[in-house]
Structure 1
Amino acid sequence: MHSPINAANRLALRLLSLAYFVQAVGALSVVGSLEAISAAWALSIAQSALLITVFGIAFALAAPLLQMTLGHLRRRAQVLLGLSIFSVAALLFAAAPDYQTLLASRVLMGLGAGFIGPVLGALGSNLVTREQQGSAIAIVLLGLSVAGLAGMPISAWLAHEFGARSLFFGIGASGLLIAAMILAWVPNRVVGQRVAPIEVITLLTSATSLSAFLVVFFVTTGVFATYAFLAPIIGNDFHGSADDITLALTVLGVAGVLGNLLVTRLALRVSAERLLLIGIGLLALDLLGLAAMPRLFGGLLLALVIWALATDIVWPSQQRRIVELMPEQRGIALALTASFMFAGIGTGSAVAGWLYPIVGFIGLLLASLLFLLLAFVSLRFSEWHARMQVIEAELS
């Protein structure tokens, strides 16, 4: 029988989850507040959209590079350093006098985020026993789940009501507050590990690890190929009002929290591979149901509940699988996982922006299904290749 996570470690994991929430909201905030940013700084939509691109590039490059240069620092120190850089950069964004400063602040936010996200899972999983790691990762990723489901619309509402500067001031101030709480209540006993460049190259060229990274890339791309345009889908395809959009996002948020609690318990009994298959399968069935059902708002709300549950199964299970596949390289492996995840967010959002005006709601659903199929193929190939490696090791 597995012992429960004690109160002190559960508090630490919740604080790490809050750090993930702030980082993810800061990453997604520009997507939901493009018009407010454009108005505040007199920018074109294209200029505002570039703020998303530079963040993604900075994050994708920073995540592995920071583990190669500063990965030897204790995990908590890495989180605090990254969260401090990220938060100060958000405050710089709020006070930016010109476009050049906005770009620089987003690069710095990407740099800080590249230190936060990959390390949170590694730190959280090392605070507990091996049997509790799946539950610990699920707790940490609750922040990412809630931010992924509600971060963009909440950011859009705050930016519209109070202005883009206020939104980013809130992100920066929240990040610094959470950093102080982590300093006070998260143990500093987990050591880091400097990563050699050859390790990164090996992970990116190994069939087993690369296919494992591609699972999260394709799933994230598939999710955001539809989710990024959820608000216009509700308005245009389900003839919903602004209140309907708010209700839908509330349902997503509540279902996401409840789903995370469920997955925290399932992780004690079910393998990461099986949970990933269940999550991907649920998402695919949900998308097929959305494509086939009448355009009824009540049906959409039910589909969003299933959507939230499925994504809550996928995110922590993916990180848990990475930790189990590469336990000695978990730092750099989780850093690369985060890079692939945010690359998927950017790719899926770009696909949504390109396809929706051309092929509409059904086109987005089909694109999402295609990416989920690619995720399924990547997962099965990764499993097969990992088994072959075990067999070869036993025979040699």
Structure 2
Amino acid sequence: MLPPIPFKYMLPLTGLAVSAFVFNTSEFMPIGLLTDISDSFGMTPAATGIMITVYAWVVGILSLPLMLATCRMELKRLLLLTLALFALGQAGSGLAVNFPMLMGARILVACAHSIFWSIAAPLATRLVTRTHQPFALSTIATGSSVAMIFGLPLGRVVGLALGWRMTFLVLAVISTLALLYLWRVFPSLTNNSTFSTRDLPALVRNPLVSGIFVLSVLFATAYFTTYSYIEPFLGTIAGFAPDAITWTLMVLGVCGFFGSVLFSRFYGRHRFPIFRAGLLGLLVALMCFLPSAAFMPSMIACCMLLGTISTLFNVTMQAELIRNCSLAAAPVAMSIFSGIFNVGIGGGTFIGGRLAAASLLPDIGFVGAAIAACAVLFGLLFYLPHARRQSKQEKVK
């Protein structure tokens, strides 16, 4: 039994979890409102979906440059400035009167996203001892999962009832409140980073670090090829009513919370089985996506597995990354991870959009599964052997 985390550190961890909630809600909310946004601008869902792709690719491009530019800034100040930029972008999205204005505001939010997900996990682990790091990471993952449980579906409900713009404005208010809360409770953390661009080659040459980067882009591409167009898939292929789609997305998010609990309980003692379960679970869920659509309970079960695996393996990759790099390199490594993961999100959304435009929406699961199969092969044949060798060396020492 681990000793409890001091209350003074649970307060900032809670603030980080709430921030993760609003960031994840913002990133994926357009998925649940894609049809509504498209109709307001007289566009097709496939054309509007480019907004998700551009957002992800901006994060992918800017994560490392922005992290290197700010890596010597005092960490609390950097966190608060990131939230302020995020709130401004949300307000701009809610007030957008045309699609280019919405795209510009979303790019502003993407800049904040680039920094936040570079520092969130390292900040959480710095607040606690090493034995509590899995719990700290699972706390951040819980914030992301709650976004899938309540954020995305409630954003859809608010958007359908009051218009999608109101959903963005509500997020602007919540993020402002989170900023004020963290200003009061988050401790000042000295930033002793000595990392520079000269250290990048050594970081990337680490086979476990570079292996996580490869896995992240494959995993994200596979998952978002399917997930980015789950709303039109459930509506047109599975025949779900609008309310049923909302509830299915909520159930998927609940299972994301379950995935974070599994990680917190078992990663420390069963690191490699958890890793394998995440990889293989994604492949199985995507392979079953279209066959499950013929029967509502099986479709919901498939979405439940997808939600569990997405959170479980995402936080597992972050834990592996932090485990295999130095304290000084962790924020930069996480920024590269976030950037590459979002390249995968953009790639998956792009592939899903092209499939939808070509009337191949039923096949998004199979295409995602083909990419997931590449991730499984890479993980089992390259990453795990290197990780086992390093684990044995650590035990010898």
Cα deviation code 1:300-348 (max 9, x no counterpart): 2222222222223211111000001113311101111111222222222
The runs of 4+ residues in structure 1 deviating greater than 4 Å are 38-50, 97-100, 148-154, 204-207, 289-294, 385-393
Q: Is contact 1:145–1:311 with CA below 8 Å preserved after alignment?
A: no
Residue number in structure 2 paired with 1:311: 310
In the alignment, structure 1 segments of 5+ residues that lack a partner are none
Q: Is the 8 A contact 1:16 1:120 kept in 2?
A: yes
Q: What is the Cα deviation at residue 221 of structure 1?
A: 1.7
Contact 1:221 1:368 in 2 (8 A): yes
Match of 2:33 in 1: 33
**Contact (CA 8 Å) 1:75, 1:192: kept in 2 or not?**
no
Quick check: 1:349 aligned with 2:349?
A: yes
**1:23 correspondence with 2:23:** yes
Q: In the superposition, relative to structure 1, how do residues 303 and 324 fare at CA in structure 2: closer, same or farther (>3 Å)?
A: same
Deviates more, 1:95-104 or 1:111-120: 95-104
For 1:208 and 1:350, the matched residues in 2 are separated by 28
Assess, with a 3 A threshold, how the Cα gap between structure 1 residues 147 and 131 changes in structure 2: closer, same or farther.
same
> What is the CA distance between 1:274 and its match in structure 2?
3.3
Q: 1:382 maps to what in 2?
A: 383
User: Which sections of structure 2, spanning at least 5 residues, go unmatched?
Assistant: none
Deviations 1:192-236 (A, max 9, x none): 626422334544465442221121221122222222222233233
Q: 2:256: which partner in 1?
A: 256
Partner of 2:191: 191
1:246 maps to: 246
> Counterpart of 1:309 in structure 2: which amino acid?
T
1:295 aligns with 2:298: no
Q: Distance in 1 between matches of 2:325 and 2:71?
A: 16
The 2-side partners of 1:370 and 1:172 are apart by 38
AA in 2 matched with 1:296 = F
Q: Mark the CA change 1:145 to 1:200 in structure 2 (over 3 Å): closer, same or farther.
A: farther
Give 1:172 shift.
1.3
Contact 2:148 2:253 in 1 (8 A): no
TM-score (norm 2): 0.87
Instruction: Give the alignment's Cα RMSD to 1 decimal.
Output: 3.0
The TM-score, its normalising length taken from structure 1, stands at 0.87
Report the Cα distance in structure 2 between the residues aligned to 1:45 and 1:291, rounded to whole angstroms. Answer: 20
| Number of aligned residue pairs | 392
Q: Which residue of 2 aligns with 1:52?
A: 52
Letter in 1 for 2:124: G
Deviations, residues 218-274 of structure 1 (Å, cap 9, x unaligned): 112222222222223323333222232122122222222233223222233222x43
Partner-residue secondary structure (3-state), 1:80: helix
Q: CA deviation at 1:57?
A: 3.3
* Rounded Cα–Cα distance in structure 1 between residues aligned with 2:70 and 2:154: 34
CA distance in 2, matches of 1:26, 1:377: 33
Residues 50, 253 of structure 1: alpha-carbon distance in 2 compared, 3 angstrom cutoff: closer
Give how far 1:178 is off. 0.7
- Is the 1:74–1:190 contact (alpha carbons within 8 Å) kept by the matching residues of 2? yes
Question: What SS does the corresponding residue of 1:193 show, helix, strand or coil?
Answer: coil
1:60–1:343 CA contact under 8 A, matched in 2:
yes
Contact 1:69 1:194 (C-alpha < 8 Å) held by counterparts: no
Distance 2:44 2:310 in 1: 34
SS at match of 1:285: helix
What displacement does 1:141 show? 1.6
Q: Using the alignment, how far apart are the partners of 2:232 and 2:251 within structure 1?
A: 17
Q: Is the 8 A contact 2:145 2:254 kept in 1?
A: no
Give the CA deviation at 1:63: 1.6
User: Aligned residues: percent identity?
Assistant: 21
Question: How far 1:149 sits from its partner (Å)?
Answer: 6.5
What is the deviation of 1:293? 5.2
